[in-house]
């Protein structure tokens, strides 16, 4: 494999003054000081809102690996959130309290699920791939509703949170906040590095022209499958955090509306960009909250807003920023 | 489980399939001809139901309400096409998903604001309110039979339009290669508008016809939309014939599955477990069916050549 030429598509400006790196670090830095600002901005409520936004940012970043860099439109990515949450919830219920064993289980099971469903789904492309990933998510959704021992349709309230070295790290707001932030920063960094690596270049090249990449000797299917599995595992981590935060698990986490929401976050933020999914997730969660403060019928504003953003901006929020720079 | 129940469920399945076909027909054409993913198609189904409800409460006459509802659904569909969808045909699938998702959010909420979040019901029209004695111990509501008849009639009309008329020929040509059709000088944007308006009206018809059977509520089209997507994927995108066959298959499979699954699970598990597992197995059946079909025929049962990647 090592002698194969690697297609070079690096429109990336590297170097210490890399602009996207700066923006990402500033955003993460702002997030890091949120607990200090929270007394001014609305206290614990604000904090838990930001935690939720960060959890969705993890899921969105992991989705971007397949959606943005890989060009595979997964319309069932919420399923990994659900798996992560349910593995966490069930483990706690069955007496496994250690955060690391639970996380290992989450990674293992969401990875295994991604491997199996990915191997089947990746036989198809385009619209058919969209629908088959949706189908798997729907199947999991209905399986979870029948798990009556763990709450069935109504979901399950968790009475414990995972412990880290004997500490209940996730029970305090700031403990959960910083754990989520650290995981977010790691995953943000990891996915970008992965996308810029040799592996990522093959993946991105295969998005543009799978036939050509295939004829260079790469097994496109395998590359895509690996990306899908990694993405599923990372989204599983988001599910773990979601269960820790909500202390509640429910089949509705895997509903197609949530999968749609994740796609919205990635596309709004900007596909296959370093900060796109991060900004997109923060934007969507916060704007929904702000609008719902203004009016009960906030979807009347948010819906048309989505349409307008699509009609008048190409390339999401990241593209909007870029356009401004280009014209101004 | 006896043969009477089975027959009733079979008829219910066909009736559900017919409704699915009315929704899927427009979806598969819009998808096949324009390569446009319209998540808001389920919204048009809901609009049909609500409009018919509104006109019924004004006129107290079902047929008049139905006719008015259809015309309004058509106008609204054309308006949406003119204002929004037209600008998205050449865009990426993801942009289409995003914009139509926004429309879903908006219309579901609007309906909630206008008619309230609760469920509404529409009485069955009086002429069709009785039941017919089909066999010795089987009575079946006339309205549901009428619904099946209307659905089959619409399917026949569509079949004739698509296979025998000039517009139909253009639609078929568009589904297999819209670029060439455009290059040949056909006014493709007008063709798109016709297809879109027509699809919206059919979905509205499905909603109006379903209103007396199901309850009318905000978001009623969302889950049906997903099932309609399953139908057009199984049938092959862009194929009316495929959509018809797949809609009937899915309708019958889903309805019969709900009856049989619990009993079948009862053979393996004890009764309470079967009652839990049965319904979710039944809900999964159509997705399993789709995944199986895609595994063996990645383009669906009746792929329209080359269309709609």
Mean pLDDT of B13-24: 94
CA separation for the pair B286, B78 (Å, rounded): 32
Question: What value of ipTM does the predicted structure carry?
Answer: 0.83
Burial group, residue B132, by CB count within 10 angstroms (0-12, 13-18, 19+): exposed
Find, among B208, B220, B218, the residue nearest to B65 by Cα: B208
Output the CA torsion B137→B143→B144→B148 (10° steps): 120
Burial A45-71 (b: 16+ CB within 10 A, else e): ebbbbbbbbbbbbbbbbbbbbbbbbbb
CA A239 to chain B, closest CA, distance in angstroms equals 22
B251, B20 Cβ separation under 8 angstroms: yes
Tens of pLDDT, residue by residue over B27-71, are: 988 887 788 888 899 999 999 999 999 999 999 888 899 999 999
- Cβ of B106 within 8 Å of Cβ of A304? The answer is yes
The residue that leads in pLDDT, A188 or B91, is: A188
Determine the pLDDT at residue A1: 43
Mean pLDDT of B259-279: 77
User: What confidence category does residue B306 fall into, taking pLDDT thresholds of 50, 70 and 90?
Assistant: very low
> Which domains, ranges and CATH numbers included, belong to chain B?
14-125+140-296 (1.10.3470)
- Cβ of B102 within 8 Å of Cβ of A271? The answer is no
- Cβ of A127 within 8 Å of Cβ of B105? The answer is no
A34 in reach of chain B (CB within 8 A):
no
Determine the pLDDT at residue B1: 55
User: What confidence category does residue B307 fall into, taking pLDDT thresholds of 50, 70 and 90?
Assistant: very low
Window 103-162 of B, Cβ < 8 Å to A: 103-110, 112-113
Determine the pLDDT at residue A101: 93
Burial group, residue B260, by CB count within 10 angstroms (0-12, 13-18, 19+): middle
Check whether B91 has a pLDDT greater than 70.
Answer: yes
Q: Which pair of tokens denotes residue A206?
A: 């295969």
User: What confidence category does residue B304 fall into, taking pLDDT thresholds of 50, 70 and 90?
Assistant: low
Provide the residue ranges of all domains of chain A, joining segments of one domain with +: 49-258
Determine the pLDDT at residue B309: 36
CA A140 to chain B, closest CA, distance in angstroms equals 9
CB pairs under 8 A between A and B: 127
Check whether B176 has a pLDDT greater than 80.
Answer: no
- Cβ of A128 within 8 Å of Cβ of B308? The answer is no
How many of the other CB atoms lie within 10 Å of CB of B296?
Answer: 8
A20 in reach of chain B (CB within 8 A):
no
User: What confidence category does residue B239 fall into, taking pLDDT thresholds of 50, 70 and 90?
Assistant: confident
pLDDT along chain A (328 residues), means of 10: 55 61 90 84 83 96 95 93 96 90 96 95 86 90 86 86 78 85 96 94 93 92 96 97 92 91 90 91 91 87 89 69 47
């Amino acid at each position: 494999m090592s002698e194969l030429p690697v297609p070079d598509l690096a429109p990336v400006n590297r170097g210490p003054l890399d602009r996207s790196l700066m923006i990402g670090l500033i955003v993460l830095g702002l997030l890091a000081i949120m607990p200090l600002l929270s007394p001014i901005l609305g206290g614990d409520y604000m904090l838990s809102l930001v935690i939720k936004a960060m959890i969705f940012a993890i899921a969105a970043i992991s989705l971007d690996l397949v959606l943005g860099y890989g060009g595979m439109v997964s319309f069932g990515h919420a399923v990994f959130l659900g798996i992560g949450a349910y593995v966490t919830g069930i483990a706690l219920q069955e007496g496994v309290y250690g955060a690391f064993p639970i996380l290992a289980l989450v990674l293992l099971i969401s990875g295994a699920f991604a491997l199996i469903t990915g191997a089947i789904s990746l036989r198809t492309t385009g619209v058919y791939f969209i629908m088959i990933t949706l189908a798997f998510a729907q199947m999991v959704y209905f399986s979870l509703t029948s798990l009556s021992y763990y709450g069935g349709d109504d979901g399950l309230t968790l009475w414990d949170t995972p412990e880290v070295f004997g500490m209940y790290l996730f029970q305090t707001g700031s403990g959960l906040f910083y754990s989520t932030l650290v995981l977010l920063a790691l995953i943000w960094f990891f996915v970008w590095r992965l996308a810029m690596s040799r592996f990522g270049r093959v993946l991105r090249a295969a998005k543009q022209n799978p036939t050509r990449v295939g004829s260079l000797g790469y097994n496109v299917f395998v590359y895509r499958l690996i990306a899908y599995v990694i993405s599923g595992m990372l989204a599983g981590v988001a599910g773990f955090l979601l269960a820790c935060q909500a202390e509640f698990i429910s089949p509705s986490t895997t509903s197609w509306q949530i999968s749609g929401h994740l796609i919205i976050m990635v596309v709004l933020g900007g596909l296959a960009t370093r900060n796109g999914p991060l900004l997109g997730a923060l934007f969507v969660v916060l704007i929904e909250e702000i609008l719902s403060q203004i009016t009960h019928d906030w979807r009347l504003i948010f819906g048309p807003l989505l349409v307008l953003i699509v009609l008048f901006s190409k390339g999401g929020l990241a593209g909007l920023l870029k356009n401004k720079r280009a014209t101004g | 489980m006896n043969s009477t129940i089975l027959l009733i469920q079979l008829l219910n399945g066909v009736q559900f399939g017919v409704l699915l076909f009315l929704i899927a027909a427009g979806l598969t054409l819009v998808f096949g001809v324009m390569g446009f993913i319209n998540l808001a198609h389920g919204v048009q189904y809901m609009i049909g139901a609500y409009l018919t409800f509104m006109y019924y409460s004004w006129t107290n006459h079902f047929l008049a309400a139905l006719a008015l509802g259809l015309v309004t659904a058509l106008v609204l569909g054309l308006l949406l096409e003119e204002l929004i969808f037209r600008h998205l045909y050449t865009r990426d699938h993801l942009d289409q998903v995003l914009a139509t998702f926004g429309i879903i959010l908006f219309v579901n909420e609007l309906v909630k604001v206008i008619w309230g979040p609760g469920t509404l019901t529409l009485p069955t029209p009086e002429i069709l309110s009785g039941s017919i004695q089909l066999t010795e111990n089987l009575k079946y509501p006339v309205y549901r039979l009428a619904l099946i008849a209307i659905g089959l009639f619409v399917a026949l009309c569509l079949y004739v339009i698509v296979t025998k008329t000039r517009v139909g020929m253009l639609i078929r040509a568009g589904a297999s290669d819209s670029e060439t059709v455009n290059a040949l000088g056909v006014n493709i944007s007008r063709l798109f508008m016709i297809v879109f308006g027509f699809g919206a009206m059919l979905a509205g018809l499905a909603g109006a016809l379903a209103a007396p059977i199901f309850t009318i509520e905000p978001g009623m089209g969302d889950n049906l939309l997903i099932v309609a997507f399953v139908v057009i994927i199984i049938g092959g995108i862009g194929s009316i014939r495929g959509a018809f066959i797949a809609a009937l298959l899915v309708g019958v499979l889903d309805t019969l599955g709900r009856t049989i699954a619990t009993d079948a699970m009862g053979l393996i598990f004890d009764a309470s477990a079967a009652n839990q597992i049965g319904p979710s197995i039944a809900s999964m059946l159509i997705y399993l069916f789709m995944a199986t079909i895609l595994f063996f025929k990645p383009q669906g049962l009746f792929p329209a050549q080359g269309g709609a990647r």
